[in-house]
Amino acid sequence: MKMLFRLIALGLLGVFALIAFSLSAPEAAFSAQPTLQPTETAAPLTTPTSVPTPPLLDLPEVDWEDVGAHKKAMKPAFADDVDRFVDANRYFIVARLSFEPDAVFRAAQRVRFTNRTGEALDLLVFRLYANTPALGGRMNVHHVEVNGVKVEPSLSNLRSVMGVPLPVPLQDGESVELRMDFTLVMTRGLNTSYGRFGYVNDVVSATAWYPTLSVYEPGIGWWTDLPSPQGDPSYTEIGLYEVQLTLPAEMVVAMSGVIVETRRNADGTITYRDVTGPMRDHAFQASKRYMVTETRADGTRIVMLHYRDQADSPTDGTKVAMQYAVQALQIFNATFGEYPYAELVVAQNPTPSGVEFPGIIQIAERAWVQGNRFLEVVIAHEIGHQWFYALVGNNQVALPWIDESLTSYTEFVYFRAAYADPKVGEDYVDSFQQRYTNYLARGLPDLPLDLPVRSYVGISYGAIVYTKGPLFFVELER
């Protein structure tokens, strides 16, 4: 057992060396932290698709007081918790995804915002994260209404911040409904932000794919920072989502929440109706390459999206990936409190490592093989994020250590509980210490933990947040 762990630890150390010190490392060596941008192996970049302004979509009215459908996304014991979030940020999104050959979204959304700031507001701020250099998409919002009145929004910070003026100031406790029509283009073959957003290898990874309400911080105002190219690019509050997504019938899709209705259309597309419980973001994965394998653990349906064209390979990692996911969910349920949602999706993906979203995790396609010990590490890490980031939120851009260091600590929690030999957990802590010591031995700065992402230049982000950080939490536990 100790030898098994040392193989994992050596793999992690090998990749940390690759990232931090530009040394060579074997292909099997990875790191649980987001690592290098992936090398594109699919089609070359295409000429960017030009999307003319489409007509306004047919967008039904929404009864915001009815949250019954959202309870379907929760495990029965947690269904009534949804009632507490009636006044949370609410999204109703209708979207159509086509391939031209880029991935093109034509969409509209209704958003209800209830002012809980304690102040009167004359402006709401939405983030168009897709327009940031970190994500590299092209989002255009071409129509905005506030309570049925057309308004002209303003754009700033590289078109990633959209200010929506309110015709009448919104008092504390009051609500307002907005309508937005928008398009989004993901350039085929352009994989950015660790693979969390893009259309690569025939896989659509959609996060930050809709205009998102920013966070209003008392005494400061709306959060409008431009995220760093490294680290997580967004900062959001919990909300309730209903999404109607139409895409070609050959695409297999999984989303945050649960799909409660499926409709086949005469034009060869399928429309999926998805609802969530209280979640911090909405994301989905879609590909014609995917097939589904599923099981249940502790009352949650675990859905594996994995490549159909690799399923018959003797090295396919789906079976062991499922084992690791079940084990991680059970350990963290017992340690941190029960995962409240009805589903958890684990998706094979072109990411170089792993990325988390509420109810969905992406796992590196190159790690999805039997015998690759990093597969266990990254699944444990990303499932740990379902507690730290997804349930317990923080500003991931300003204080990345709160979720990333805690989640790296959950790797130790996982290995300590998953293996009978107590040395496994001890050796895992030693691996954090060794990577941190190696970093310092090069004379590199021992930066504080509580800095924003952009303050960590190059290798310092991984060394401080992903090794020094979990060591702090281990000591805190002791």
Block means of pLDDT (10 residues each) for the chain, length 478 residues? 35 33 28 36 47 88 98 99 98 98 97 97 98 92 98 97 98 99 92 78 95 95 90 92 99 98 98 99 98 98 97 94 98 99 98 93 95 94 98 95 97 97 95 97 96 93 97 96
Is the peptide bond prior to 76 cis by the omega test (within 30 degrees of 0)? no
CB 183 within 8 A of CB 56: no
Rounded Cα gap, residues 232 and 255, in angstroms: 19
Phi, psi (5° rounding) for residue 162? -120, 115
**What letter would DSSP give residue 388?**
B
| Of 289, 385, 285, 304, nearest in space to 343 by CA | 304
- pLDDT for 229 equals 80
Instruction: Find the helix or strand (DSSP H, E) in which 4 lies.
Output: helix 2-21
* Residues in the annotated binding site for Zn(2+): 381, 385, 404
| Of 450, 234, 213, 414, nearest in space to 325 by CA | 414
Written as six digits, the tokens of 414 are 């996982």
CB 4 within 8 A of CB 350: no
Total-model pTM: 0.89
What is the number of alpha carbons within 13 Å of residue 277 lying toward its C-beta?
24
Report CA-CA distances (Å) from 468 to 46, 355, 387, 404, 473: 42, 20, 20, 11, 9
Rounded Cα gap, residues 407 and 335, in angstroms: 13
Task: Return the number of other C-beta atoms located less than 10 Å from residue 69's C-beta.
Answer: 18
- pLDDT for 48 equals 56
First to last CA, the chain: 24
Phi, psi (5° rounding) for residue 468? -65, -40
Rounded Cα gap, residues 250 and 247, in angstroms: 8
Rounded Cα gap, residues 233 and 136, in angstroms: 12
Beta-bridge partner residues of 116: none
CB 251 within 8 A of CB 271: no
Instruction: Find the helix or strand (DSSP H, E) in which 312 lies.
Output: none
The residue written with tokens 């709160």 in the block is 402
Q: In what order do the strands lie in the sheet with 212-213?
A: 154-156, 161-170, 121-127, 212-213
Per-domain residue ranges of the chain: 1-30+400-478, 68-288
| Residues shown for the chain | 478
Is the peptide bond prior to 34 cis by the omega test (within 30 degrees of 0)? no
Q: Which CATH number fits domain 68-288: 2.60.40.1730, 1.10.3720.10, 3.30.70.260, 3.90.1210.10?
A: 2.60.40.1730
* Residues in the annotated binding site: 381, 385, 404
The DSSP-derived string for 135-180 is: T--EEEEEEEEETTEE---EEETTTTEEEEEEEEEE-TT-EEEEEE
CB 197 within 8 A of CB 136: yes
What distance lies between CA 190 and its chain's CA centroid?
18
What distance lies between CA 51 and its chain's CA centroid?
26
Beta-bridge partner residues of 198: 191, 205
Rounded Cα gap, residues 473 and 216, in angstroms: 29
